[in-house]
Amino acid sequence: MSYSNLTIDVSERIATLTVSRPDKLNALDGQTMDELERAIGELETRTDVGGIIVTGAGRAFVAGADISELARQSPAEALERARKGQRIFSRFEESAKPVLAAVNGFALGGGCELAMACHMRIASEAARFGQPEVKLGLLPGYGGTQRLPRLVGTGRALALLLSGDMIDAQEAFRIGLVDRVVPGERLLAEARGLMGRILQNAPLALSQCIAAVLRGRDLPLREALEVEARAFGWLAGTEDAAEGTTAFLEKRAASFRGK
């Protein structure tokens, strides 16, 4: 597929998806959102892709939505915009392939929401995070009010949501919004290194780990444990599990096939 506001580079089973509107700080206008939806659909089905890194071109990851579009929207249009954005970002969150945000700069509004929809987040020392929608008389519409409390807790989430303040990478790490902070020049190398280590493992086990976490996080513990048990049982019948356990006993590297 061809894209105007995104680039996709695939190497060693890792797809690097870059939002590329640097003159607009990679703001998420309608076309870019449509392209993100097409891109995640493409990458989910490509057999040469095992994992996805999402990043931004220039000095921003994504600096929010396109304000010029928000200024013109009616209430009905705003409702549909929110539902569409939530649907698209949920595609990233629910992907069976690991998705890692490499946050290189400003991740504000919809950019912070996109990063939170990824399974993991590595930030450059120059990264900045925030949900400034209240300063526009709005609130986050692409999942920010729901994912942020799940990541950092209710009090910290409300402090960010209600103030609209921007925080730096170290503060984002301290509160649990990001998993690691690295020098900017090392960001993509660190992201690729982590994704490379992840992709050495069994693909079906990776996808089942993601699914078990997502399905179980809002269930009572007893029900969530049953989700885990069923996934464990299913994986035990796969060729990859037989290969993994045999390789361990034979003291050799496993060769997984995703079966």
What is the spatial distance between Cα 127 and Cα 104, in angstroms, rounded to a whole number? Answer: 6
State the chain's mean pLDDT as an integer: 96
pTM for this prediction: 0.95
Domains of the chain: 6-198 (3.90.226.10), 203-249 (1.10.12)
Structure-token match 């069994």, residue found: 202
* Residue 109: per-residue pLDDT: 97
Q: Report the 3 state secondary structure along 192-220.
A: HHHHHHHCCCCHHHHHHHHHHHHHHCCCC
- Condensed to tens digits (0 to 9), the pLDDT of residues 215-237 reads 999 999 999 999 999 999 999 99
* Residue 206: per-residue pLDDT: 98
What is the spatial distance between Cα 123 and Cα 130, in angstroms, rounded to a whole number? Answer: 14
What is the spatial distance between Cα 202 and Cα 257, in angstroms, rounded to a whole number? Answer: 8
Per-residue pLDDT band at 198 (split at 50, 70, 90):
very high
CB-based contacts of 64: which residues, under 8 Å, 6+ apart? 25, 27, 28, 108, 109, 110, 111, 132
Q: What is the CA radius of gyration of the chain?
A: 19
Whether residue 64 has pLDDT greater than 90: no
Give percent above pLDDT 70 in the chain.
Answer: 100
* Residue 95: per-residue pLDDT: 98
The answer to whether the Cα torsion of 76, 73, 147, 190 is positive or negative is: positive
CB-based contacts of 163: which residues, under 8 Å, 6+ apart? 134
Whether residue 1 has pLDDT greater than 80: no
Per-residue pLDDT band at 66 (split at 50, 70, 90):
confident
Q: Which tops the pLDDT comparison, 64 or 101? A: 101
Active site residues: 113, 133
* Residue 67: per-residue pLDDT: 83
* Residue 65: per-residue pLDDT: 81
Look up residue 166 and give its two tokens.
């921007």
Per-residue pLDDT band at 20 (split at 50, 70, 90):
very high
Instruction: Classify residue 45 as exposed, middle or buried by CB count within 10 Å of its CB (0-12, 13-18, 19+).
Output: exposed
- Condensed to tens digits (0 to 9), the pLDDT of residues 23-56 reads 999 999 999 999 999 999 999 999 999 999 999 9
Q: Is residue 190 helix, strand or coil?
A: helix
Whether residue 89 has pLDDT greater than 80: yes
Per-residue pLDDT band at 161 (split at 50, 70, 90):
very high
Q: Would you tell me how many other CB atoms lie within 10 Å of the CB of residue 185?
A: 9
Whether residue 72 has pLDDT greater than 90: no
Q: Name the DSSP class of 58.
A: T
- Condensed to tens digits (0 to 9), the pLDDT of residues 174-193 reads 999 999 999 999 999 999 99
What is the spatial distance between Cα 20 and Cα 29, in angstroms, rounded to a whole number? Answer: 12
* Residue 35: per-residue pLDDT: 98
Cβ contact 133:139 at 8 Å:
yes
Cβ contact 52:114 at 8 Å:
no
